[in-house]
Amino acid sequence: MKKMLVSAALAATVLVPSAAAAQALPAAVIAVVDVQTVTNDCNACKIAAAALRSQITGLQNREKALAAPLETEAKSLQAAADALNGKEPDAALQARAKAFQTKQQSAQTELARQQQQIARNQQYVNKQIADKLNPIFQQVMVRRGANILIEQGSTLATAKTVDVTSDVLAALNAALPSIATTAPAAPAQPKQEQPQGR
């Protein structure tokens, strides 16, 4: 028993200096930022959001423009098919039906391509904002003496004195005067080489 106490005392004396040698963490100095307000209210962000809304409106208008004649043609084809009373359609009606399917597929392809482009544009806008915000967060933390920055949505309540949203917004307005709203072209997919016959 005595040996165990002596061993424990020796272990404690060995551990105490190493624990004291470990550097103490600084006291937490927390700042809070409302990222949604920053990204909604920055000057370039407002212009980019309006441009993206315009792209979406353009897509919706194009969808209506493509749908109207297709709907008319579909009704006409259906009426012609109903008039056959179960008989086989003639070559002209078959050709019309095939042309309708081609137009329908072409419209779907066009709209899908535009939807993908708008989604890529949105991602590109978000990336430009994020690329500028990340260093701004660090700069504001240093300037305001914070060592932790928390998004306001993650907090239950904060004092107004720890809110650095206006600092971040001002810095973003200065660092990001404009935002491109058309993403660069997607890289082309490499073609797979076909095996050559012998």
* Per-residue pLDDT, 158: 85
- Angle, CA of 101, 105 and 111, to the nearest 5°: 145
* Per-residue pLDDT, 198: 46
Q: Which residues of 65-78 are buried (b: 16+ CB within 10 A; e: fewer)?
A: ebeeeeeebeeebe
* Per-residue pLDDT, 37: 95
Going by the DSSP 8-state scheme, the letter that residue 26 receives in this structure is: P
Q: Which residues of 128-148 are buried (b: 16+ CB within 10 A; e: fewer)?
A: bbeebbeebbeebbeeeebee
* Per-residue pLDDT, 60: 95
For the chain, the first-to-last Cα distance in angstroms comes to 87
Going by the DSSP 8-state scheme, the letter that residue 198 receives in this structure is: -
Question: Is the torsion defined by CA of 88, 91, 92, 93 positive or negative?
Answer: positive
* Per-residue pLDDT, 66: 92
* Per-residue pLDDT, 5: 44
Average pLDDT of adjacent 10-residue blocks, the chain of 198 residues = 48 50 80 94 96 96 94 90 86 89 94 95 96 95 93 88 94 95 79 57
d(CA 133, CA 165): 12
